[in-house]
Amino acid sequence: MRIAFITNEYVTEETFSGGLANYLGRITTALADRGHEVHVFTRSMAGNEVIDHRGVTVHRVVPLWDRKMRLDRIDGLCPRSLYAPYQDLKAAWSLWVRWKRAQQKTPFDLIQAANVLGVGLFFRGLKHVPRVMRLSSYRPVWDTAAGVEQNRATKTRWWMERVVIESFPHLYAPTSYVARLTEENYRVPKVNVIETPFYLEEPEEDYSVFQEVCAGKEYLLFFGRMTQMKGTHLLAQALPQLLFRYPEAHAIFVGGNGPSPDGDPMPDFIRRQTAEFSDRVHLLGSLRHQQLYPLIRNARIVALPSLMDNLPNTCLEAMALGRTVVATTGTCFEQLIESGQSGVLVEPGNVTALAEGLIKAWELEPEQREQIGQAAQERIEELHPDRKVPELIAYYQRIIESHLQRQKSPVPVL
């Protein structure tokens, strides 16, 4: 198959740390390894160019209305309240134009678009190529949980995303949680559930950050985007109970950040909440896997108290490395974790329950943590590409075959 992926982020770009980018990095290379011709059309700030990434052809697309930027002069005329969705619109158009150019040279068998930021907007009316959309989130709940202000720009983005989702004939999500939210709130007949194929990358690990920050410490680790949707603010409020009770405990935060409930950057909120234990709370920026994996591998527990999620890479990676994960109920993690057997689940949005869950996980005996870690690894093994990629390929093939059958069907004569 010749497959095109349309996305706003990919692992070759500065936005490498996002869950969507990492998912696409894994699935596209897995498909390429199996002999499929895979192209990724991604929003980029690096330049309009085509590069090879581990057998995947990556089309980097800088969002411009045209190459000479004549039409980009209208940017200044756009109301500030709509500037973000306007930029999304321009990016969607640029991705569409670049894809059309590639399609004219050699036709694609299938297109898969991300649902986020309306990147598939101009593919809505496409009839001659099968279109699939993978749902990374249900945006209104996602943004609300993340504390995103529900202003004109936010609601316009929600509308754009809804228009695109409702126009795609084939939809799938990695969790029944997101599938159900989409079916209940959008005019779509069915969202298939296909779990994300996952394998643990094996980069040459770089222990420099671990040696500088973590060596010799017993620590809790949070990694991922430090946002309200990820429950980072709740973790900051729950941590003092753990840190007070266990003087040897440290907390490590890794990742980019968003606004806290009081509007300040999340790292500032964390520092205020844990000021009494400032010497044992360590805030780091985003790390690539070479530096991140040693931190995960040696963490006593990993805390992922999301208010909603969608089989996040953070959880997959932590479980694959045999860590005891403390996560939340009703937010997709039940699809991966059986509480007490392969991790610990607590009520979302409840600081007291989270603190109790962290303490419970911290107090596990080494052999109990080892048993939980082993069970976690066994669950993640079920997501291995050797099992899940064939499932996805079969889904693609059914769509392509159905599309070809419809094209061959004779037009009824009236």
332 plus 391 within the same structural domain: no
| 186 neighbors 166 (Cβ within 8 angstroms) | yes
pLDDT at 68 over 80: no
Q: Which of 2-6, 174-178, 241-245 has the lowest mean pLDDT?
A: 174-178
Q: What is the mean pLDDT of the chain?
A: 93
237 plus 284 within the same structural domain: yes
184 plus 240 within the same structural domain: no
Counting other chains too, the contacts that 275-281 makes at CB distance below 8 Å and 24 or more residues apart are 276/240, 276/243, 276/244, 277/239, 277/240, 277/243, 277/244, 277/251, 280/243, 280/249, 280/250, 280/251, 281/239, 281/243, 281/250, 281/251, 281/253
34 plus 183 within the same structural domain: yes
Total number of domains constituting the chain: 2
Q: What is the mean pLDDT of residues 63-81?
A: 77
State if pTM tops 0.75. yes
180 plus 324 within the same structural domain: no
What is the Cα–Cα distance from 394 to 101, expressed in whole angstroms?
A: 28
pLDDT tens string 319-372: 999 999 999 998 899 999 999 999 999 999 999 999 999 999 999 999 999 999
User: What's the chain's length in residues?
Assistant: 414
152 lies in some domain: yes
Angle in degrees, 0-180, between the axes of helices 232-245 and 351-362, rounded to the nearest 10: 50
Strands (E), 117-164: 131-134
pLDDT at 412 over 60: no
Residue 161 domain boundaries: 2-198+386-408
Q: What is the mean pLDDT of residues 275-304?
A: 96
Q: Which residues contact 185 (CB under 8 A, 6 or more apart)?
A: 138, 140
Region for residue 91 given its phi and psi (left: phi exceeds 0; alpha: psi -120 to 50; beta: otherwise): alpha
338 lies in some domain: yes
129 lies in some domain: yes
**Ramachandran angles phi, psi of 256, nearest 5°:** -75, 170
pLDDT tens string 11-64: 999 755 567 898 899 899 999 999 999 999 999 988 899 999 999 999 999 998
Tell me, what's the pLDDT at 190?
92
160 plus 231 within the same structural domain: no
280 lies in some domain: yes
288 plus 356 within the same structural domain: yes
117 lies in some domain: yes
CATH code of the domain in which 11 resides: 3.40.50.2000
